[in-house]
Structure 1
């Protein structure tokens, strides 16, 4: 069966089904007692749907191993199932449909994922559905506008924690199994139902405010219990509940609030009401920077905002996906800055999230924030930088436009009016217009329903502010002057601009920072005088957000080929060692490494045999010196140590030093903890350059035979610089369907490691031969990883263009990925040409 072809759901069909069906309740009975037996590939699932219908027949969605029985209103019906849709006929006005089936345990993170912990042999289960994988666990109406009350009944091994959206109300059984029935949910969509089961480590807490009391639960694998810093997780959770309770004026609606950190997760997190799932990379096995903790707090608050934006009020169809994701992305940063210790959260947003948005918005496949989503495949690919980061960026502009008080007043009215229902863009605009009295629809037209971005520059000796692709902007220009060698903000000018060219009167200053405060969404260029000031004194700017905006401007100009790559690298070399914000530092180091590999002319890069006199070698020495100079035990030191791994994977001048530290024959820098995660980063560098062979990698695995260790070892083994090694890794990636999502990702990383084009260029033709059949036969998540991850860095665009020309009728979602990868390659070739 072609999963992608059979399982795709067009918007028009689901809209017709929604018009004909009124869903009331769903009861789901799962038996996962066999999950501990690896040879048992599936689990029993029984679904009972109660609904009204105005048609005699429809379909119910299900993807699994078999469908055994279909009973409609007490009468047995023949099983008519194409692998994705079960046909049900004989419907009346009021109906009860019971479907008995066998679902399949997942290794790709889609549906009911099963994981066996190598540390202790324990088996863990969890679900992940968005946008349309609940049908891999239960028979359902897989669309967000058919909400229902869900009751889950789960039979699982005795001794396991068994979890769902609501609290357990009845637990029965004895001996080797238990059956847990949960309270019915309030009306929710299928994609945010959730189940988890296994011998998870559990901690608890509570949040109280007035007469409200919410039980908090925290879960992770038992083998990670000693690393689970639940105190900080609960602290952020309580701060978030305090903030959202007041801001949204609608009591937390879902009863308990469990947060579970799970292995081999495809996302950062998922907003299942009452049972939020997170990647367990947020359980820090070793040292973690303050930026990592801030990112985790942001994600906790992002998912918490979804309890209202997305769960309580849900978009009707995926073209209004932004109604939840843009708001949650905005709220993650807003609540972090307003309610937690991470008061610089907007600086991280400016440097990290907006960079994602700017990149996505310059692709030929960019789309409006309010996108046209014709089917589920398109929905899956629209969880992108536009829906999240650009949407959040323009919401920040909207808050500046209507005022924060009016913005939250509109949100409160929106929740009151549409609680437990579905909405479209018009519903939100009506609420915001009523609360603010502003013409929000005109704002929507300018920002939500268009594509692309403006580029802002000062021209005519700083007397004109020019913008490409004109839009209305409310922004600020900061004027920074030198004072005792430091750049200090001396003045600022607030502006509302609409036209392509706007006359401005600005004070005289060395640095003019367009969009100071980051109020709008636009690329802001530095004029030459400002650029020279930044080259001299970027790291002296005291304001963290201002520094983040300067770094962002420099990176955007480098990506666009307007700032020479070597000039950018020199700015990083000069000022990154003095950067105080570890998140900004990590971003600058990553961008510099990308510049070396993708934007510097190939002849200047050198290769792993050369020791000095090339850009790769110079960057390696910059990183080495940064590590030596960093404050012992600081987040900056850890950031430089991680950057060393990347730099050492493409140049072997420091391989002996790194190997000696790993072997214990040389000391590490004072304060640097050489934990398992950092050891693997360095180990992969040594494997990629051929210093460590298979036996040494396996020896390292014996030190850390955990899930993370095995994944890292997979990448290291695949990255060894031998043609036969890369060939075998290539075959495994495409053909070995037993690889988990994490191990597939690690294998792809190994194939790409070290920028060794000479080892993989012979696979170019095979790539283009494989991608269409792979898309037709593998799950979307797996196919997407392969198509995107193994796209060849060809020296010309000819092979890509030939495939696109010959496959004009290929699925639009596949073509989108290839077109986007083509654009990334075209940009690299163009920027290199400008730097030659």
Structure 2
């Protein structure tokens, strides 16, 4: 284990011996606009008590210039990750002066140069342990403390942190901003942003509490920022959580900032939430995109209580914040905003992520065994988020909603500004529900795997038995020919077989209402009904559950891939719920690329492109559906070139009525042409001239790397593996381009080089960049031999690297199994 990694055992020993009193962090970012400067001065003053004479501070920087312990400058003991401290007293003041590195990977202090106006933008991203890239600290969630940040930055910049500015002093070309001290928080949710950000202000008030609101983005994106919509959702969420949690919002202000080249959807820094710029829509957006953004806003807002106010002791209990935020985001969307169908997207998209993750050999309990930071980094997954949220939804039904929220309120008050474990939460929920939740926790939080439910011969048959509260919906055709709910039966099951008496019906839907976490199968009669009449199911949640059942059956090899594709082709054009339509279009494309053998794949590529193209031209002008089908057409055209002339005509202005060719859609179409050999480097230069923005440059890199030429692929490979100056977004673009078009004949020659490079990539690159390379370049081979040889030869490889390779192997193995069943 390198010293950059931190283990659970050593951090537990450190927090048992050291109690932090206060941090003061001074950052000099005045030189940030000079791109030649690799680093910035950083000074940390930390006060703490110690029951040991030795400990360490974490710091991943360029250098440490000096360390002072209790007023005495000591010899610097720094190995590149840890600053050793010795000769400690009972009470201590340590001052560390060092140089931090500006980041291009989205970890630590990320620096971005806007090609539109030459402006420099900075923001931080720390979870799970990258605050140490900016200042020396005790980098673990259970060592909370107040922080006072002071930032020197160019005059005229917005300078932001968790708290409002207390003092701002001008000094010629620069300004010095000192922020009010935070309340006790963990290092990973401290935050700094600086640059000429565009600002929109508002306010939210409830009773005597008044909270200033701010929305920020880069100046060159200001014309696209729909701040009023963002603020409307924000205020709806604050109203909702104030009512449900009955604990006043504690962080003083609520700023939200959209930042470039972001690794995540968002991050819950109290008082300054960071979001990906992908949520600033540069053109038309579907209802599913607006709904997804609203859900993310509310997810991060829930963290102000779940995660920020009350924080897990260690990353084992990451679910204590992420599962709750995922559940609360959907609940608040459905009950407080216009997105009343939010549970439809949750059932069909979020749970699909959970089902996928839970069937991997690397799956883990919701309450996971996280031994170190590398493992923690990879545990921000479908189990921790979506499975945990699904289980919480079931728990609310089990204990009662009123009792659940009463327990949650007690939990906040008992542990405010502290750290907790599973036992602390169960204590509060059990007290108000009157239920002993130990058995429930063992069944759902401390096990792995997903049950499959099948209705057959008067029984519900369950694989991997667990206790479920579920409903069975009986659907029949009404006089208008629609499939509507006639009868609904709720029951508890726990065994492998549960007798159930149900009347005949055209469609019998297990888990109607999506009460539990389980894959369901449609019985043969219900499948036959769905195959001819799925578009007649009027309830969107029921349709979502049916689409989910069909998709899981395809992935498990129990429903023929071409049968699923015929249903997608027949019924997707009539789908009115944009979240469902988006998911079905993506799943159909994935099915063609992964689950069909080569001859059928080529046929379906052409057929699917034709279906998408036809539906694009018949869709309602200006609708979200039209936009979704345009995007699907671009994706389909990237692996089949027979519509290349028509796409060129579309790009030249021959568009269906109502379709706006925004920059992102145009780039998708150009990339499709490039990937099928119908666009040269000269062709791709013209759209870059019209969209010489950050997004445009990234898309241009992707399109260039997509061209189906051996030399192009060689250059892309060399850049992905060897160019350490690439930003995270540019690396992704080159990897995506390298893989574009599905041209195994051009890239299979790199399979051996991929496995030869894995260990060096993991050792030499940051974990975020290494993860993108390991996953993005994994060979989609026709056999598992090469990966099995690597695994056999590298049993001692870092566990996090092994996990990624094992997961990619499993995805490939599933592809091969499903193809073999056709």
TM (normalized to structure 2)?
A: 0.99
Match of 2:634 in 1: 645
Match of 2:427 in 1: 430
Q: Mapping of 1:607-756 within 5 angstroms? A: 614-664=603-653, 667-756=654-743
1:319–1:372 Cα contact (<8 Å) kept:
yes
Match of 1:230 in 2: 227
- 1:379 equivalent to 2:366? Answer no
Q: Mapping of 1:333-482 within 5 angstroms? A: 333-460=330-457, 463-482=458-477
Report how far residue 177 of structure 1 moved: 0.1
- 1:818 equivalent to 2:805? Answer yes
- 1:147 equivalent to 2:147? Answer no
Match of 2:592 in 1: 596
The partner residue of 2:574 within 560, 572, 578 is 578
Match of 1:513 in 2: 509
- 1:778 equivalent to 2:756? Answer no
SS in 2 for 1:91: coil
SS in 1 for 2:821: helix
Report how far residue 629 of structure 1 moved: 1.7
Match of 1:611 in 2: none
Where do 4+ consecutive residues of structure 1 move more than 4 Å?
none
1:152–1:184 Cα contact (<8 Å) kept:
yes
The partner residue of 1:166 within 155, 163, 166 is 163
- 1:761 equivalent to 2:761? Answer no
The partner residue of 2:488 within 483, 492, 496 is 492
| Partner Cα separation in structure 2 for residue 276 and residue 43 of structure 1 | 23
SS in 2 for 1:197: strand
Report how far residue 740 of structure 1 moved: 0.3
Deviations 1:159-217 (A, max 9, x none): 00000000000011231000000000000000000000000000000000111100000
The partner residue of 1:58 within 46, 55, 61 is 55
Report how far residue 73 of structure 1 moved: 0.2
| Partner Cα separation in structure 1 for residue 529 and residue 391 of structure 2 | 29
Gaps of 5+ in 1: 607-613
- 1:567 equivalent to 2:563? Answer yes
| Partner Cα separation in structure 1 for residue 596 and residue 623 of structure 2 | 31
| Partner Cα separation in structure 2 for residue 653 and residue 583 of structure 1 | 29
| Partner Cα separation in structure 1 for residue 601 and residue 551 of structure 2 | 19
Q: Mapping of 1:109-128 within 5 angstroms? A: 109-128=106-125
SS in 1 for 2:168: strand
1:11–1:317 Cα contact (<8 Å) kept:
yes
| Partner Cα separation in structure 1 for residue 403 and residue 236 of structure 2 | 23
SS in 1 for 2:264: coil
| Partner Cα separation in structure 1 for residue 754 and residue 605 of structure 2 | 28
Match of 2:37 in 1: 40
Match of 2:323 in 1: 326
| Partner Cα separation in structure 1 for residue 481 and residue 529 of structure 2 | 10
1:719–1:751 Cα contact (<8 Å) kept:
yes
Report how far residue 485 of structure 1 moved: 2.5
| Partner Cα separation in structure 2 for residue 575 and residue 438 of structure 1 | 44
1:164–1:196 Cα contact (<8 Å) kept:
yes
- 1:269 equivalent to 2:256? Answer no
Report how far residue 507 of structure 1 moved: 1.6
| Partner Cα separation in structure 2 for residue 89 and residue 439 of structure 1 | 47
Report how far residue 603 of structure 1 moved: 1.9
Deviations 1:753-796 (A, max 9, x none): 01110010000000000011110111000000000010001110
Report how far residue 5 of structure 1 moved: 2.9
Report how far residue 309 of structure 1 moved: 0.1
SS in 2 for 1:731: helix
Match of 1:81 in 2: 78
1:729–1:747 Cα contact (<8 Å) kept:
yes
Deviations 1:288-334 (A, max 9, x none): 11110000000000000000000000000000000000000000000
- 1:798 equivalent to 2:789? Answer no
| Partner Cα separation in structure 2 for residue 90 and residue 561 of structure 1 | 63
1:5–1:776 Cα contact (<8 Å) kept:
no
| Partner Cα separation in structure 2 for residue 450 and residue 586 of structure 1 | 32
| Partner Cα separation in structure 2 for residue 403 and residue 683 of structure 1 | 53
| Partner Cα separation in structure 2 for residue 696 and residue 332 of structure 1 | 43
Match of 1:308 in 2: 305
Report how far residue 823 of structure 1 moved: 0.1
The partner residue of 1:828 within 795, 815, 818 is 815
| Partner Cα separation in structure 1 for residue 150 and residue 51 of structure 2 | 30
| Partner Cα separation in structure 2 for residue 578 and residue 762 of structure 1 | 43
Deviations 1:660-698 (A, max 9, x none): 11123xx20111001101001111000000101001111
Match of 2:601 in 1: 605
Report how far residue 699 of structure 1 moved: 1.1
1:269–1:276 Cα contact (<8 Å) kept:
yes
Q: Mapping of 1:12-27 within 5 angstroms? A: 12-27=9-24
SS in 2 for 1:36: coil
| Partner Cα separation in structure 2 for residue 249 and residue 783 of structure 1 | 43
Report how far residue 6 of structure 1 moved: 3.1
Report how far residue 589 of structure 1 moved: 0.4
| Partner Cα separation in structure 2 for residue 737 and residue 551 of structure 1 | 42
| Partner Cα separation in structure 2 for residue 794 and residue 494 of structure 1 | 46
| Partner Cα separation in structure 1 for residue 580 and residue 534 of structure 2 | 12
TM (normalized to structure 1)?
A: 0.98
| Partner Cα separation in structure 2 for residue 198 and residue 501 of structure 1 | 61
SS in 2 for 1:374: coil
| Partner Cα separation in structure 2 for residue 659 and residue 25 of structure 1 | 61
- 1:188 equivalent to 2:175? Answer no
SS in 1 for 2:284: coil
| Partner Cα separation in structure 2 for residue 439 and residue 536 of structure 1 | 46
Report how far residue 542 of structure 1 moved: 1.1
1:485–1:537 Cα contact (<8 Å) kept:
no
1:276–1:303 Cα contact (<8 Å) kept:
yes
Report how far residue 628 of structure 1 moved: 1.4
1:481–1:489 Cα contact (<8 Å) kept:
yes
1:491–1:507 Cα contact (<8 Å) kept:
no
Gaps of 5+ in 2: none
